[in-house]
Structure 1
Amino acid sequence: MLDSPVIAGWKTELLRVSQWTGLDERLSPAATKKRRTHWASRDEAWRHFHSKPAFARWDERILSAYIDCAIPQTQPNGARTLAFDRHIEYLIYRTLPGTLSARLAHGAPVPVEFIAGTHSREVRHVGLEMTRRIVGERFEWVNGSHLFPMERPTA
């Protein structure tokens, strides 16, 4: 698992309540519901994403590939459109499983390793108690944030 800690204990109930009330839309990546979907040019898309703190840390080759693949040119004038449905992305974040920790309380059915970013806000918010219980010794830290694979793809 790449910097995806398992939510457990009282945080599971907090997750359920936040999903039920819609509060998670302000506290989680569910804000992608309002993600921008159109850019006038590749350069505009680059500037847009590179100005965002999370994307600004990405390796420039990865950000370039993201723009080319996820925001392809859709108009002869160079305009670009997001290639995936932001509503589906929103629904993924709105349906984070609140029952995963109970299912994995006695271990995972297959070996699992966890790699966490040293500067991951997600790890700090959720905690790692249940994750450590599931993965045991198969736990590693790498330099970077939650999106460390995009920041340091070679590593």
Structure 2
Amino acid sequence: MSGIKTEKTPLHFTHANGIPGDSYQKFFGFLKDDFDLKYIPLIGMHPDYPVTHDWRFLVDQVIHDIEHQFSGKKVVGLGHSFGSLLTLMCAYKRPELFSQLVIMDPPFVVSKKSILLQCAQKLKLKAVDKLTPAGITLKRTDFWESKEQAYRSMRNNSLFRNFDETCFQDFIQSGLVPAQSGDGVTLRIPKNMEAEIFRTVPAWWWRTPGKAPVPPVHLITADSSPFYKQGFPQNVQKIYKIDYSLVKGGHMFPLEQPEKTALLVKNIIEMQRAE
């Protein structure tokens, strides 16, 4: 019966630190034919879900959003960077919410570096800003006279240089808001908030689960990602039996190659279902 429509697979997405969910519209566009895709526009900005040393309230924000938006349906958990680690943490806390996960380049700090970072966090040392991107984040310009000026200022920044043009335009539109001090625009996610999230990445957390999560999980990383270069995905595979795929590009690859990344995500989801 050709007139019967099949129900789309529920898919929940969580964005990277400092990059609002609406910045991923082009990436989403390559997934929406196959998935009922929903996402949180902003993580870390809600007073009911503050940023703390263990991200517990941010994890709760993702869990509550899944429960609210999907009404008991199991979802494919998909996240990028900070959002992918949150999604993985959710899967350990509430595995019944997920059918499977695809985590894109999570800042999953493991092994010796995690011990160093944990000590710096506990002692509240300034070294935390050097061990994480927090220090670089705090040095970023966060005020421009217009979105046009912001575009020119940021387009060749190392973070955004390789963004797909449409993705970068979406970031400019969704990631900037009128400044409170008067004319001009500033970051929707303040750089102080972005830095605090980086500072509080749960360096100790990797030792807590001690076993692979219940839902199937696949990790995607990139050959120029600092996490891949430091061996984090390789250690995650060894310790947690989470396989990974390697793509060309940097840490922001979903916004650098949205179509290729979406196709890979779909292929991985199909592969997980077939296993």
Question: 1:76-130: CA deviations, max 9, x gaps?
Answer: x972221123222111101111222212322124322100012112221253343
Which of 60, 63, 66 matches 2:165?
Answer: 60
Tell me by how many angstroms 1:22 deviates.
Answer: 1.9
Which of 216, 219, 235 matches 1:111?
Answer: 216
Q: Which residue of 1 aligns with 2:247?
A: 142
SS of match in other structure, 1:69: helix
Unaligned runs of 5+ in 1: none
The answer to whether the 8 A contact 1:11-1:126 is kept is no
Does residue 26 (structure 1) correspond to residue 123 (structure 2)? The answer is no
Distance in structure 1 (CA, Å) of the matches to 2:196 and 2:156: 25
Q: Which residue of 2 aligns with 1:83?
A: 188
Distance in structure 1 (CA, Å) of the matches to 2:245 and 2:157: 27
Structure with larger RCO (C-alpha < 8 A, sep 6+):
1
Count of residues paired in the alignment: 153
Tell me by how many angstroms 1:73 deviates.
Answer: 4.6
Tell me by how many angstroms 1:74 deviates.
Answer: 5.3
Structure 1 pair 74–23 and aligned structure 2 pair: CA distance change class (3 A)? closer
Does residue 2 (structure 1) correspond to residue 104 (structure 2)? The answer is yes
Q: Which amino acid aligns with 1:9?
A: S
Q: Which amino acid aligns with 2:117?
A: L
The answer to whether the 8 A contact 2:133-2:198 is kept is yes
Q: Which amino acid aligns with 1:27?
A: L
Distance in structure 1 (CA, Å) of the matches to 2:248 and 2:166: 18
Q: Which residue of 2 aligns with 1:152?
A: 257
Does residue 128 (structure 1) correspond to residue 238 (structure 2)? The answer is no
Tell me by how many angstroms 1:26 deviates.
Answer: 2.4
The answer to whether the 8 A contact 1:112-1:135 is kept is no
TM-score, normalization by structure 2: 0.50
Unaligned runs of 5+ in 2: 1-102, 261-275
**Identity level (%):** 25
Does residue 72 (structure 1) correspond to residue 182 (structure 2)? The answer is no
Distance in structure 2 (CA, Å) of the matches to 1:98 and 1:43: 38
The answer to whether the 8 A contact 1:28-1:93 is kept is yes
Which of 40, 45, 49 matches 2:154?
Answer: 49
Q: Which one has a larger percent strand, Structure 1 or Structure 2?
A: 2
Structure 1 pair 74–5 and aligned structure 2 pair: CA distance change class (3 A)? closer
Tell me by how many angstroms 1:50 deviates.
Answer: 1.1
Distance in structure 1 (CA, Å) of the matches to 2:211 and 2:187: 41
SS of match in other structure, 1:113: strand
Distance in structure 2 (CA, Å) of the matches to 1:40 and 1:74: 9
Does residue 38 (structure 1) correspond to residue 140 (structure 2)? The answer is no
SS of match in other structure, 2:108: coil
Distance in structure 2 (CA, Å) of the matches to 1:135 and 1:39: 46
The answer to whether the 8 A contact 2:233-2:244 is kept is no
